[in-house]
Amino acid sequence: MIEFLQQLINGLAFGSILALIALGYTMVYGILRFINFAHGDVFMLGAFSGFYLAPKIAMILPLPSVAGGILVSIVSMAICAAIGVLIERLAYRPLRHQPKLTMLITAIGVSLFLEYTSQFIFGAAPKKFPEILPAFPLAKIGGLNLNSNQIVVFVVTVLLLIVLRFIILKTRIGTAMRAVSFNPQAAALMGVNTDIVISFTFALGSALAAAAGILWAINYPAIDPLMGILPGLKAFVAAVLGGIGNLPGAALGGLIIGVTETLVSGYISSTYRDAIAFAVLILILLVKPSGLLGRKEIEKV
Amino acid sequence: MNFTRAKSFFCEKTMLCFKRAQNFLSGAAALCSKHAKTSLLGAIALCFLVSLFENRINSYWLFISYDVGINVILAVSLNLINGYTGQFSLGHAGFMAVGAYTSAVITNRFGELNYFAADGIFFIALIAGGIVAAGAGLLVGIPTLRLKGDYLAIVTLGFGEIIRVILQNMDAVGGARGLSVTHLWTNFFWAFGGAAVTIYIVTSLVNSTYGRGFIAVRDDEIAAEAMGINTTKYKVTAFVVGAFFAGIAGGLYAHSKQFLTPNGFGFMQSITFVVMVILGGMGNTIGVIIAAILLTLLPEGLRQLAGIEHLPGFTTERPLSWVGDTRMIIYSLLLIVLMLTRPQGLFSLKKFSSPK
Amino acid sequence: MRIFHALSLLAVSVAMIVFAGCNKSSSSTNADGNIIKIGEFASLTGSEATFGQSSHKGTQLAVDNLNAGSGLLGKKIQLLTEDDQSQAGQSATVVRKLISSDGVVAVLGEVASSRSLEAAPICQQAGVPMISPASTNPRVTQVGDYIFRVCFIDPFQGTVMANFARKTLKLNDAAVLSDVKSDYSMGLAKFFKEGFAAAGGKIIADENYSGGDKDFNAQLTAIKAANPDGIFVPGYYTEVGLIALQAKQLGINCPIFGGDGWESSSLVPIGGKALEGDYFSTHYSPQDTSPAVQNFVKEYRAKYNETPDAMAALGYDSAMILADAIKHVGTTDGAKVRDALAATKNFPGVTGNITIDPNRDASKPAVILTITNGQFKYVETVSP
Q: What are the backbone angles phi and psi of residue B233, rounded to the nearest 5°?
A: -60, -40
**pLDDT, tens digit, 9 for 90 and up, residues A183-228:** 888 999 999 999 999 999 999 999 999 999 999 999 999 999 999 9
Helix (H, G, I), strand (E, B) or coil at B150: helix
Contact B162 A278 (CB under 8 A): yes
Residues of C in contact with A266 (CB under 8 A): 218-219, 221-222
Nearest Cα to Cα of residue B261 among A217, A99, C112: C112
Asked whether A25 and A237 are in contact (CB, 8 A), the reply is: no
Contact A112 B335 (CB under 8 A): yes
- The residues, any chain, with a CB within 8 Å of residue B103's CB and separated by 6 or more, are B125, B126, B128, B129, B247, B250, B251, B254, B255
**pLDDT, tens digit, 9 for 90 and up, residues A112-164:** 999 999 999 998 889 999 988 888 777 666 677 888 888 888 899 899 989 99
**pLDDT, tens digit, 9 for 90 and up, residues A257-269:** 999 999 998 888 8
**pLDDT, tens digit, 9 for 90 and up, residues C225-258:** 999 999 999 999 889 999 999 999 888 999 999 9
Please state, as a whole number, how many other Cβ atoms lie within 10 Å of the Cβ of residue C76: 14
- Higher-scoring residue by pLDDT: B324, C302: C302
The answer to whether residue C100 scores a pLDDT higher than 60 is yes
What is the number of CB-based contacts under 8 A between chain B and chain C?
174
Where helices occur in A62-134 by DSSP H, the ranges are: 66-87, 100-122
Find the closest chain B residue to A271 by CA distance.
Answer: B169
Helix (H, G, I), strand (E, B) or coil at A97: coil
Q: Residues of A49-79 as b/e, b for ≥16 C-beta within 10 angstroms?
A: bbbebbeebbeeeebbeeebbebbbebbbeb
- Least confident window among B268-277, C5-14, C260-269, C338-347: C5-14
> What is the β-pairing status of strands C366-372 and C375-382?
antiparallel
d(CA B247, CA B140): 14
d(CA A187, CA B256): 55
Angle between helices B149-168 and B118-141 (to 10 degrees): 130
d(CA C164, CA C153): 17
Write the single-letter amino acid at B236.
V
pLDDT given at position B29:
46
Please state, as a whole number, how many other Cβ atoms lie within 10 Å of the Cβ of residue B233: 11
> What is the β-pairing status of strands C347-349 and C352-356?
antiparallel
d(CA C27, CA B20): 32
The minimal CB distance from C217 to the residues A10, A127, A227 is found for A10
The one-character DSSP state at C374 is T
The minimal CB distance from A109 to the residues B151, B222, B339 is found for B339
Write the single-letter amino acid at C200.
G
> Within an 8 Å CB–CB cutoff, is residue C29 touching chain B?
no
Provide the ipTM. 0.89
d(CA C246, CA C214): 10
pLDDT given at position B301:
87
Rounded to 5°, the CA angle B179-B182-B187 comes to: 110
Phi-psi region of B197 (alpha: psi -120 to 50; beta: other; left: phi over 0): alpha
The answer to whether residue C11 scores a pLDDT higher than 80 is no
Residue count of chain A, please give it.
301
pLDDT given at position B39:
77
- Measured between its terminal Cα atoms, the distance across chain A in Å is 54
Contact B33 C1 (CB under 8 A): yes
> Within an 8 Å CB–CB cutoff, is residue C213 touching chain B?
no
Q: Residues of A94-122 as b/e, b for ≥16 C-beta within 10 angstroms?
A: bbeeeebbbbbbbbbbbbbbbbbbbbbeb
Contact A109 B355 (CB under 8 A): no
Q: In chain A, what percentage of residues exceed pLDDT 90?
A: 53
Q: Per residue of chain B (356 residues), what is the pLDDT tens digit? A: 454 454 454 445 555 555 554 554 444 444 444 567 777 888 888 888 887 877 778 889 889 999 999 999 999 999 999 989 888 888 999 999 999 999 999 999 887 766 667 788 899 999 999 999 999 999 888 877 778 777 888 889 899 999 999 999 888 898 888 899 988 889 889 999 999 999 999 988 988 888 888 888 888 888 888 888 888 889 999 999 999 999 999 999 999 999 999 988 988 899 899 989 988 888 888 889 999 999 999 888 888 887 776 666 666 666 777 777 788 898 899 889 988 988 887 766 554 444 43
Please state, as a whole number, how many other Cβ atoms lie within 10 Å of the Cβ of residue B183: 17
- The residues, any chain, with a CB within 8 Å of residue A219's CB and separated by 6 or more, are A13, A17, A149, A150, A153
Find the closest chain A residue to B161 by CA distance.
Answer: A275
**pLDDT, tens digit, 9 for 90 and up, residues A6-56:** 899 889 989 999 999 999 889 888 888 888 889 999 999 999 999 999 999
Distance from CA of C225 to the nearest CA of A (A): 7
Where helices occur in chain C by DSSP H, the ranges are: 2-27, 49-68, 90-96, 113-126, 139-142, 154-163, 183-198, 217-226, 237-249, 267-271, 291-304, 310-329, 334-342
Nearest Cα to Cα of residue C324 among C347, C342, C346: C347
Whole-prediction pTM value? 0.88
Asked whether A16 and A232 are in contact (CB, 8 A), the reply is: no
Query: What pairs with residue B260 in β-bridges?
Result: B179
d(CA A239, CA B71): 32
Please state, as a whole number, how many other Cβ atoms lie within 10 Å of the Cβ of residue C226: 15
Chain CA centroid to CA C17, Å:
35
**pLDDT, tens digit, 9 for 90 and up, residues A42-60:** 999 999 999 999 999 988 8
The minimal CB distance from C221 to the residues A10, A221, A226 is found for A10
Asked whether B25 and C8 are in contact (CB, 8 A), the reply is: yes
C340-to-C131, C142, C322, C365 alpha-carbon distances in Å: 13, 18, 9, 22
Contact B275 A108 (CB under 8 A): yes
- The residues, any chain, with a CB within 8 Å of residue B271's CB and separated by 6 or more, are A108, B90
